Chains A and B, each alone.
Chain A
Amino acid sequence: MAFSSIPFLVFFLPVFLAAYFATPGTAAKNAVALLASLLFYAWGEPQYLALLLYAIAGNYAAALVIDRLDGGWRRAALALALAGDLLLLGRFKYAAFAGLLPAVALPLGISFYVFHCMSYLIDVQRRRLPANRNPLEIALYIALFPQLIAGPIVRYGTVARQLRRRRHRLAVASAGMRIFIIGLAQKVLLADQVAPLADTAFAGTPGTADAWLGLLAYTQQIYFDFAGYSAMAVGLGLILGFTLPRNFRLPYISRSLTEFWRRWHMSLSRWLRDYLYIPLGGNRGPRWRTWSNLVIVFLLCGLWHGAAWTFVLWGVWHGAFLAAERAGLSRLLGRLPAPLAWGYAMLAVMGGWVLFRAPDLAAAGGYFAALAGRHGGSLSFAMHMALTPLATLALAVGGVLAVVPRWPAAPAVLDTAWTVALLALTALFVAAGTYSPFLYFRF
């Protein structure tokens, strides 16, 4: 059930909010939220609900065991539990890619909830916080529907206290609703409207004009899609009284890839830093070790995004740029005029998106050739068709919103009014998506 769908917006969300706020007490509210989260998950993936419950139960028990042990046994228990989580992820996401087992459908959100589980276990092992003995709270931490499918990746410590006690205030719920509406609008009014341009360009071997327009569109689509979804999650979290971490902070204003990764999917960057990069040695060893750590971490980051060579190469691409910046490119960028440094960062990011979006390496190679002018040509017929006035408008508005850092604050009345208007406008688009007319004389 996508957040931008009629079943969620019209049926699930109003009924859930009514039930949630009508229920007194945090424990009872937790039960309502957990039931709703399991229903939300089962709606899309009923066959994998048991897997989610298994992950919850397994990690709940593993954390209790780890918490009781000391020294080598503690580390061994953690290793065993992490191996269980990674096996789960490996079976469903990577076994077919590695040629070990036949492919199976990927359970929704498995990459996110496995990372939730792992961070919980590691933090318990590191004695950053005690294992939670309340299975309901752990289940809610892992399965809470706003962040279950697409993040942000929430560390247990971020919400541990709120799982037990949280306040529900109208001002906070309104702030959450505002963030939710902005995220919904980013997804529906911007990402979805420019998506056909990217689809057209990546459907085959494009001409140069198509390739650049398609890449520009995809650069916006992936940002507003992912950032929009994250904003919806953060907003819903606030409404429920949880402070979920912000996941995006205007990544396209970055002037280096180092800065980009401080602004893009920040919860993942932090997870990788704390649970992978630093344990690998981080930047404490010789310089070559730091560079190789960066490449390893981002190779795994690419693999986390998808089991395909394009994702692996995307990770290596980012890792290599980060290593180069660490090796001295950053100093050079610091001396460049800001627009040039920004241009470098955008080109590097967009080049990465080619790898991310292309169906395979050959297609990615063809796309790079098109960008370099190998296929020439003005806009194709198909791209003209996709470049509707609405797509053009979305591209223009999205382009501005993606790179303008600050907007003047509106008075509260105006702010409330335009946010409600934005919700109404977005609702029109969501509703229109259900219109499915039959061309009766399709004969």
Chain B
Amino acid sequence: MLRRHRRLLFPLAALLLALPLLGLLLAPDSAARSAAELRALAPWPGRLDPTALDAWARDHFGFRRLLIGAEARLVHGALATGTGEVFIGRGGRPFLRVNRMIEQSAGLRLDHDAVAATAGMLAALRDALAARGIPLIVAPPPNASTIATAALPAWARNPGRATEYDALLAALAARGVSALDLRPVARAVPAPYRRFDSHWTPRTALAAANAVARAVGRPDWTLDEAEALTPPVPVGGGDLLRLLGLPDRREAIPWLSLPGGGEQRLDALPYPSVAVSGAHPGPTLLVIGDSFTRALLPPLLLARLGRVVWVYHDLCRFDFGVVDRVRPAQVWYMPTERRMLCDPGAYPAGLPGGG
């Protein structure tokens, strides 16, 4: 009796191993893209190319999503173990960790050369804009790991080390470039970052926009929360859960109550520049930023401005020519802390002072 049961192992295991292949053959997935991974799946190579066949096999075996999801629930959910891109902190709170941003928040990533190069570029930008009568302010949104430190383990918190954020602010101050430290602003907001997403909440974006407006002498551009935000509503689509392969979860947060405005693409870049126009005429604001500002800032600012133009900073590779094309009243330079420094050798096209 016992022997018979042991003999069952081979057919059982062989069946288990064959299931993904059977799943592929019986219910082929014709999707060309993976919605969860936001990427094109490797296509069938059509020829005997082991590398391409490997890539196809990795993307197309049966029950792939099911297996990945089950592993994610076990490893990331139950065992609170992250990945190379997401760190799981206390209480299971995920933090983005790409670009060594948690080390950056802890003061362990400090590239003095990049800080100096970035400050130099921003001083040149300030001068070029000043020649056109346009003020510049630099206000990088801080990392979640810089602000939501209560959810980090003790070893990951900054015990008082100077960070790149501190160094950039100091370098900008030394060059007379206007800059605003958004860290105290974010810290003053309750639950300033989304729990399952790497970005700040609309409430924090509003607080930041108001703080910058005040810093540039335009308190008339500020908005009350009551004007700008809804009561808490369930919001999903968190990029951190997606990166972990976990199913989406909703969290209740105040969301924008303002209309988005009419959007016009200005170029065909991978992250295209956009001009967002409001319902009434008014000055143009140029925001050079990234995902922290792309979706949230234009609606918040259009309540008071005629047009908001958003351009991706591209680690200092943005096109300075956009300034003459859109003629903004002000320029807000707002790359997020983790990507706020220029890539080595990068410099905006058309900005005087480049190598």
Binds A, one of B66-74, B275-283, B320-328: B66-74
State whether A174 touches B7 (Cβ < 8 A).
yes
CA distance A174 to B38 in the complex (A): 41
A-side contacts of B18, CB under 8 Å? 14, 18
Residue of A5, A14, A46, A419 near B17 (CB, 8 A) is A14
Chain A residues numbered 390-443 whose CB sits less than 8 Å from any CB in chain B: 390-391, 393, 411-413, 415-416, 419-420, 423-424, 427-429, 431-432, 434-443
Minimal Cβ-Cβ distance residue in B for A171? B7
CA distance A214 to B72 in the complex (A): 26
| A203 CB → nearest B CB, Å | 13
B-side contacts of A389, CB under 8 Å? 79-81
Contact size class for B? 35 or more
Is residue A7 within 8 Å, beta carbon to beta carbon, of the partner chain? Answer: yes
Is residue A369 within 8 Å, beta carbon to beta carbon, of the partner chain? Answer: no
Residue of B11, B20, B243 near A437 (CB, 8 A) is B243
State whether A428 touches B67 (Cβ < 8 A).
yes
Residue of B7, B198, B339 near A170 (CB, 8 A) is B7
Contact with B along A26-47 (1 / 0, CB 8 A): 0000000000000000111010
State whether B58 touches A434 (Cβ < 8 A).
yes
Is residue A79 within 8 Å, beta carbon to beta carbon, of the partner chain? Answer: no
Is residue B26 within 8 Å, beta carbon to beta carbon, of the partner chain? Answer: no
A-side contacts of B87, CB under 8 Å? 385
A-side contacts of B153, CB under 8 Å? 384
Residue of A174, A411, A428 near B10 (CB, 8 A) is A174
Contact with A along B190-229 (1 / 0, CB 8 A): 0000000011000000000000000000000000000000
Number of residues of chain A lying within 8 A (CB) of chain B? 59
CA distance A347 to B70 in the complex (A): 39
CA distance A391 to B97 in the complex (A): 18
Is residue B312 within 8 Å, beta carbon to beta carbon, of the partner chain? Answer: yes
Is residue A181 within 8 Å, beta carbon to beta carbon, of the partner chain? Answer: yes
Minimal Cβ-Cβ distance residue in A for B75? A390
State whether B68 touches A431 (Cβ < 8 A).
yes
Binds A, one of B49-57, B115-123, B128-136: B49-57
B-side contacts of A313, CB under 8 Å? none
Is residue B3 within 8 Å, beta carbon to beta carbon, of the partner chain? Answer: yes
CA distance A277 to B153 in the complex (A): 54
CA distance A413 to B1 in the complex (A): 9
State whether A435 touches B68 (Cβ < 8 A).
yes
CA distance A46 to B49 in the complex (A): 10
B-side contacts of A6, CB under 8 Å? 20, 57-58, 61
Residue of B39, B54, B61, B85 near A431 (CB, 8 A) is B61
Is residue B343 within 8 Å, beta carbon to beta carbon, of the partner chain? Answer: no
| A265 CB → nearest B CB, Å | 27
| A10-B57, A177-B14 as given contacts; A440 in contact with B38, CB under 8 Å | yes
Given A423-B16, A438-B38, 5 additional A-B pairs, CB 8 A: A390-B79, A428-B74, A431-B71, A438-B39, A439-B96
